Amino acid sequence: MLVFYDLVTAEEVEVASKIEAQVFPPEEAESLEAFRKRHSQAPELFLGAYIPVLEGQGRKLVGFVCATLSPETIFKLESMSKHIPGASSICIHSVCVDPEHRQKRIGLNLLQEFVERAERRAAAGGVSYERVLLMTHEELRGFYEKAGFEWLGRSAVVYGSRPWHAMRKELSR
């Protein structure tokens, strides 16, 4: 299956929100309003995985990564609601793949593409990206470690009913 990556457009944000609603528990899934706000603040950090449709004349969003920027060196509760332009830490809020397209390495490849794009932008100058931060549940630790993230342990952030764990990947320049 051919998968390609591109920035999610404002018109596709609702589709991304629906994908997250399918894969996140209701108390953890963000609202469409929150998605639109993040996209409006940091569209360059909203990367989609797509498959072609209609004989190459269209595309279908099958996964996405969305993030914002923070000056913090570890993901904090404030990182979830504030985007600080020009900050050095990319805070990933979601890595989601449509359930119909799971177990095809789309999520891992998408996450690696997201990190590589951040590294290229940092190396080219104009952005001050130094690291990528995220929070996850323990059962997803291996997935993020495959993408090069370092396990930092339990997070102090409380969001939903389950504990979160912090992870980090320092970017190479």
Of 73 and 47, which is predicted with more confidence? 47
Q: Give 55-106 pLDDT, tens digit per residue.
A: 767 999 999 999 999 999 988 777 777 899 999 999 999 999 999 999 999 9
pLDDT for residue 77: 73
CA separation, residue 64 to residues 6, 21, 36, 125, 157 (Å)? 10, 13, 14, 25, 23
pLDDT for residue 86: 93
Torsion from C-alpha of 17, 81, 94, 61, nearest 10 degrees? 40
pLDDT for residue 125: 86
**Is pLDDT above 70 for 5?**
yes
pLDDT for residue 74: 85
pLDDT for residue 167: 95
Q: How confident is the model at residue 33 (pLDDT cuts 50, 70, 90)?
A: very high
**Is pLDDT above 90 for 27?**
no
Q: Find how far residue 111's CA is from the centre of its chain.
A: 7
107: closest CA among 51, 49, 150? 49
Mean pLDDT score across all residues of the chain: 92
Q: How confident is the model at residue 134 (pLDDT cuts 50, 70, 90)?
A: very high
Mean pLDDT confidence for 10-38: 94
pLDDT for residue 104: 93
Q: How confident is the model at residue 173 (pLDDT cuts 50, 70, 90)?
A: low
In a 10 Å sphere around its CB, with 0-12 CB exposed, 13-18 middle and 19+ buried, how is residue 20 labelled?
A: buried
Q: How confident is the model at residue 152 (pLDDT cuts 50, 70, 90)?
A: very high
In a 10 Å sphere around its CB, with 0-12 CB exposed, 13-18 middle and 19+ buried, how is residue 61 labelled?
A: buried
pLDDT for residue 156: 84
